[in-house]
């Protein structure tokens, strides 16, 4: 694949299948640092270990599309809220990363703007309506009650996904109560933050996308007030076929 480039106002989104299996597990593990191997081993279930391994190794290989760095030379660490950042090579730490898992895929957002968050979610189920008071602000609850019953689950999923993306970009995760701020949008590209959690709300831009049955939300703290450009790359093949692991048989 040709080298890709990022510039202010540009965000690339990658949708990658979680495709770790017994045949490629050892080759993937060779891409992890000692710290990452410890993190991998700390997960209790095989499913959780496989999801972490798929996400971390896919991210390293994706980053190598943007810089002449071997996948196993990237060092990526997550803060206490789970937000990943590049530690090595240090001179590339200006690349901001967002990550989310759902529905057997991992979604990545890459940008050089000030902050980025991404969230991807499956369809909400009927019993998820009980989450409305937790997800929605007072203003949003009024809009929710005015929504047709058949559309309420999608209303909830949109707000949940947007708020997940925004709080991830802020680096706060679930430490912020979702009912303390609100979103309003007429469509997936005209999304407005009504009650910001920081002093420069105008710099934030949001997008909602459908990826198959999944809903994807993007939050970007842009450097300039002009609209951001977003490209989405969805891999329909196993990542090892798309970009082999260096040194794998």
pLDDT tens digits for range 144-196: 999 999 999 999 999 999 999 999 998 876 678 899 889 987 665 568 887 65
Please give the Cα distance from 129 to 90 (Å, whole number).
44
| 209: in domain | yes
pLDDT for residue 69: 93
Domain membership flag for residue 11: no
Q: How many other C-beta atoms can be found within 10 angstroms of the C-beta atom of residue 108?
A: 22
State the DSSP code for 244.
P
Distance (Å, whole) CA 113 – CA 204: 11
Domain that holds residue 142: 120-231
For the entire predicted model, the pTM comes to 0.89
Question: How confident is the model at residue 249, as a pLDDT?
Answer: 34
Give yes or no: residues 220 and 126 share one domain. yes
**For the chain, how many structural domains are there in total?**
2
Phi and psi (nearest 5°) for 18? -80, 95
214-221: strand order across its sheet: 115-121, 214-221, 204-211
Residues 151, 105 share a domain: no
Residue 32 domain flag: yes
Q: What's the confidence (pLDDT) of residue 170?
A: 87
Decide if 9 is inside a domain.
no
Q: Residues 83, 167: one domain?
A: no
Whether residue 2 is contained in a domain is answered as no
pLDDT of residue 195: 64
Maximum Cα–Cα distance for the chain, whole Å? 58
Residues 104 and 135 occupy one common structural domain: no
More confidently predicted of 226 and 7? 7
Report the mean per-residue pLDDT for the chain.
87
224 in the same domain as 130? yes
More confident of the two residues 58 and 198: 58
Q: Quick check: is 82 in a domain?
A: yes
| Same domain? 124 vs 45 | no
Higher per-residue confidence, 6 vs 191:
6
d(CA 237, CA 26): 20
Asked if residue 89 has a cis previous peptide bond (ω within 30° of 0), the answer is yes
Does 246 reside within a domain?
A: no
Query: How many Cβ atoms sit within 10 Å of the Cβ of residue 96?
Result: 23
């Amino acid at each position: 694949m040709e080298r890709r480039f990022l510039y202010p106002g540009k965000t690339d989104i990658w949708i990658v299948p979680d495709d770790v299996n017994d045949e490629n597990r050892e080759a993937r593990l060779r891409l992890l640092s000692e710290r990452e191997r410890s993190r991998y081993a700390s997960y209790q279930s095989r499913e959780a270990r496989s999801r972490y391994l798929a996400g971390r190794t896919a991210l390293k290989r994706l980053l190598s599309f943007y810089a002449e760095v071997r996948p196993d030379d990237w060092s990526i660490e997550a803060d206490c809220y789970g937000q990943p950042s590049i530690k090595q090579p240090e001179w590339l730490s200006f690349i901001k990363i967002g990550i989310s898992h759902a529905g057997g895929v991992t979604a990545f957002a890459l940008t050089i703007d000030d902050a980025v968050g991404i969230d991807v979610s499956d369809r909400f189920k009927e019993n998820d309506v009980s989450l409305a008071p937790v997800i929605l602000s007072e203003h949003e609850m009024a809009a929710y009650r005015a929504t047709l019953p058949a559309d309420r689950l999608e209303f909830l999923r949109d707000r949940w996904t947007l708020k997940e993306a925004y709080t991830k970009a802020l680096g706060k995760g679930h430490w912020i109560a979702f009912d303390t701020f609100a979103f309003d949008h007429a469509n997936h590209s005209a999304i407005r933050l009504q009650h910001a959690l920081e002093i420069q709300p105008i710099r934030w831009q949001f997008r909602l996308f459908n990826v198959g049955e999944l809903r994807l939300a993007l939050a970007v703290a842009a450097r300039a007030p002009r609209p951001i450009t977003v490209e989405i790359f969805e891999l329909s093949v196993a990542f090892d076929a798309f970009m082999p692991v260096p040194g794998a048989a």
